[in-house]
Structure 1
Amino acid sequence: MRKLLLPLLLFSVVAISALAQNHSSEFGAQSDNDSYLGGGSDRYYTDGLFLFYRHALDVKTSATLKNKVLGFEVGQKIFNPYGGNIVSVLQVDRPFAGYLYAGANLNFLHTDESNLKVGVQVGIIGPASGAKEAQTWVHKNFGFYTPSGWEYQIRNNLQLNLSADYNKLLGRGDFFIENTKADATLATYANLGTGFAGVGIGALLRAGKVNQLFNSASTQSTTIADKNFTPANKHEFFVYLKPMLNVVAYDATIQGGLFQGTDPTGVEIRKTPERIIASSMVGLTYTTNRWVFDAAATFRSKDIDQLAYRRHQWGSVTALYRFN
């Protein structure tokens, strides 16, 4: 009997490892910065830092729902005019602004490769967001210039924002390279809140080793509670393009607090946003049994008609670790 213990133990470890190939939780971070694209600028949307935690929930009682993921995140976004060293109010073509928030979302992913993700964010814009301090710290510790002009930034205002994203696979077929696929997905979103309101529609185009949208990095659903599920590819590795048309109803980082009157001191600079904005994201995604890596570049048309530059752009890098 004792001679069977070691083989049984080894078999159990292998079996548990095999079942654990699909991990139910992940934690990671994303960094956005316009300097990642080599421009050396601090222009418009200049920096963002985000932390994520996601956990897959049980969906065994549903016939149409394949995966359900609960997510939490905290983040900070920093916005500048065409430069971070402004010496005159006349140079403020886009308001200085920061946005600090915490949020939660629930992602419903269906067997037909459609998904609906709904979320809520509570945060603050203005000096309390810490944007000035964050940018100053980075510049000081990495040998850049000292930022100036933050006295003109958007004032403090509490934020409550709701969001919904809906995606639906349109088609998938063989790609030119063996054992790879290409697919197209409808991508839409809607935002409603005191800080951000608007809608967008576009497409997600992928090519490479792609998984179904209910268990893919493309839909933030690499975690899954079903231990018996086998993904189409053990590791995803694909390039993607995501063009979008965005309609902006309100943007507090440009217009200030929704119910806030004009600054009595006259220091705060507000602007009127462009209502129709085009954007495009191109990127590369790679996943392993435990890790998710993504690198992307986003190109966006003018947020405001008076901007000195016709568009702005930034890079994003993301790393997530999956576990049980």
Structure 2
Amino acid sequence: MACLLRTAFLIFIILFSVPATAQTQRQVTIISENDGYISVNNDGYYTNGLKFSYQWRRVPAETRREKINTFQLGQLIYTSQFAGEAALDRPITGYLYADFHQSVFNKKQDLLKWGVGFGLIGPPAFGKEMQERVHQVMQIYKPKNWDKQLRADWGLIADASWSPQLKKDRNSSLLEMKPLLSVTAGNFFTHATLGSAFLLGRSNLNNATVFWDHHKGTTKADREYFAYVFPAVSFKAYDATVQGGLFKKGPEPIEGRLNPVFFQTRMGVMYSGNKLSLGAAAVYESKQSLTQGSSQWYGSLQVGFMW
């Protein structure tokens, strides 16, 4: 685990050391997600997530489409609802991943985003070590049952998303809708998602909004501040964090049962100035595994720095 953190730190030091130019804009974003942000008595299912991303865009010539490139490293941790043997109602695992995404915008500011990624589940994802370290720092109970986590496996994932830019009068309208259609395929995750975000406040077009992590404002007039609600439904065919690796041999220590119709709603607020962006959200999710005792809530916090 310590080796992993040192590697991630070294990568970000290298990225920060590359000088920016007038034609290149860069951004680093950190996202922390935890069910404890909603309630200290809530500790289960999607219990923790930590994501680091580095983004850069080069100002395009008039004849070229604008493109934004993003590298992300992340770790997500899934557990059963409680530590007792009788409540092991979904598989336990970490999910460690690295991915690359590119966002492309046409003249209408429609967003087309594609990406590829690599991930690990089971012991190589260091979920046990991370949760034990976090609980040690917080001086709460030592996590149990990690000896029953999913078997080690690796996966490749590809995805694509599309969000059309609806007509908007920035000077008179405080309400904006951002539809989203996305598909993901691979031996870890295969699903399609349909949703739409509703923003109330001051927000920019798709290529310049913090909602899609694309803020690029340099003046006071470019600043954003809005509240939003983002409901979405996913139709799932496979999820390795619930079912284990696609090519697993034999049953897992704790068997999950995939919920094929999965609902998620995010409710939050966001702000972005010239250099700093901030976001906070409460997230509701239906059962990822039909064996779970209940649905869940968790909180999400993010901070970004642009230069």
TM-score scaled to structure 1, two decimals? 0.83
- Using the alignment, how far apart are the partners of 1:241 and 1:60 within structure 2? 35
Q: Distance in 1 between matches of 2:182 and 2:43?
A: 28
Q: Which amino acid aligns with 2:159?
A: S
Tell whether the 8 Å contact from 1:212 to 1:232 is kept in structure 2 after alignment. Answer: no
Q: Does 1:106 align with 2:102?
A: yes
Q: Which residue of 2 aligns with 1:239?
A: 227
More contact order relative to length (CA 8 Å, sep ≥ 6): 1
1:165-314 matches, cutoff 5 A? 165-172=161-168, 181-223=174-216, 233-263=221-251, 268-309=253-294, 311-314=295-298
SS of corresponding position for 2:124 = helix
Partner amino acid for 1:37? I
Shift of 1:253: 0.5
Structure 1 range deviating more: 165-174 or 142-151: 165-174
Shift in Å at residue 163 of structure 1?
1.2
Contact 2:33 2:298 in 1 (8 A): yes
Q: Deviations over 1:260-304 (max 9, x none)?
A: 1115xxx62221111001111111110111011111111011112
Residue number in structure 1 paired with 2:114: 118
The aligned counterpart of 2:70 is 71
Query: Runs of at least 4 residues of structure 1 off by over 6 A?
Result: none
Specify the structure having the higher radius of gyration (Cα): 1
Aligned pairs (5 A) from 1:46-65: 46-62=47-63, 65=65
Q: Does the C-alpha gap of structure 1 residues 183 and 231 become closer, same or farther in structure 2, counting only changes over 3 Å?
A: farther
Task: State the distance in 2 between where 1:314 and 1:23 align.
Answer: 35
| Structure 2 residue 131 is matched with structure 1 residue 135 | yes
Q: How many angstroms does 1:170 deviate by? A: 3.2
Q: Name the Cα RMSD after superposition.
A: 2.1
Q: Is the CA contact (8 Å cut-off) linking 1:55 and 1:223 kept in structure 2? A: no
Cα deviation, residue 94, structure 1: 0.9
By how many angstroms is 1:99 displaced?
A: 0.4
Question: How many Å apart are 1:91 and its aligned residue?
Answer: 2.2
TM-score (norm 2): 0.88
Number of equivalenced pairs: 287
Unmatched tracts of structure 2, length 5 or more: 1-20
